[in-house]
Structure 1
């Protein structure tokens, strides 16, 4: 199995106070941790790539913990998502290798998170951007937490790199009023409701 070669890691947090409406009692924070790594399969077709998912597990845990710390602790997190961008010498399937190590890392560190971790991925050139979807950590149908965060780096991914991202939020959209299942009404039985 190939080694994970990390070039750069970026953690960013944005704090939202309002979006033109009344200022609520507390702000909402969204954060992302992004790792830029070498793509060990770039430039060729490799039939057996699943082993690299296991190699990515420690990186996933490191990124998830870094992001949890940046957002004030696991008890603050209400939403999450993940994403991957693959440089031009790679293929979309290489980004799919991030599904398990990225998602399970967050679920392992966020006690009681039952919802599937939403994701997005694409092949891009240097400076590409990706909107990473966010849903509630315990119930995917909580509409107030449907959100996204744009991630990227001005110098990545280079052709033989991948950008792996984890995103989290501390609450619902700041002025959510689109209805649907409320966070306080989650039953927590199936990760959906």
Structure 2
């Protein structure tokens, strides 16, 4: 059993009212939560990392609950994404441990959510930023929800840490007008359309 003690949790919420045009009738909320944890695999090669995903599930659920609360509740959350920045003594595969606990935690708490959870990860120095991709929770082809939220924590991840991130949004990009599948056309059958 791998241990991932938390050093710090950071939550950020953005309220976007306009993007150069008129104010939106409803501002868009975009948020992210990041947890900086110790990396038990830093500085070594571990051939079997998959069991660590189970060890991270409680962290994923806790972060999901906190982010939903910070966004004012589940109602209206229709976009999500996840990411990880691994400190210099780790490897990108350590960030991949977040795929199951991050994605499935959001799906469990958000209810119906069939689309793949967009993801990004990298190895980075302390203070590195990551653009966490966002997509619609039920249909990956909804262009109005293609977006990203930038996350950076000035004092992390340190070399022996990982910064795990979850991101969510309420509503499409402000003034979205690039066509494609619209939210009202989503069938939610296969996670694509």
2:168 aligned with 1:168, yes or no?
Answer: yes
Where does structure 1 lack aligned partners over 5 or more consecutive residues? none
Following superposition, the deviation at residue 75 of structure 1 comes to: 1.6
CA deviations over 1:81-134 (Å, ceiling 9, x no partner):
000000000000000000010000000001111111000000000100000000
Q: TM-score, normalised by structure 1?
A: 0.99
Alignment of 1:52-131 (within 5 A): 52-131=52-131
In structure 2, what is the equivalent of residue 138 of structure 1? 138
In structure 2, what is the equivalent of residue 6 of structure 1? 6
Aligned length in residues = 193
Q: CA RMSD in A?
A: 0.6
In structure 1, what is the equivalent of residue 31 of structure 2? 31
Alpha-carbon separation, structure 2, partners of 1:11 and 1:127: 15
In structure 2, what is the equivalent of residue 158 of structure 1? 158
Q: TM-score, normalised by structure 2?
A: 0.99
Alpha-carbon separation, structure 2, partners of 1:114 and 1:57: 19
SS in 2 for 1:168: strand
Following superposition, the deviation at residue 143 of structure 1 comes to: 0.4
Alpha-carbon separation, structure 2, partners of 1:160 and 1:24: 43
Alpha-carbon separation, structure 2, partners of 1:21 and 1:50: 47
Alpha-carbon separation, structure 1, partners of 2:29 and 2:75: 13
Alignment of 1:179-190 (within 5 A): 179-190=179-190
In structure 2, what is the equivalent of residue 148 of structure 1? 148
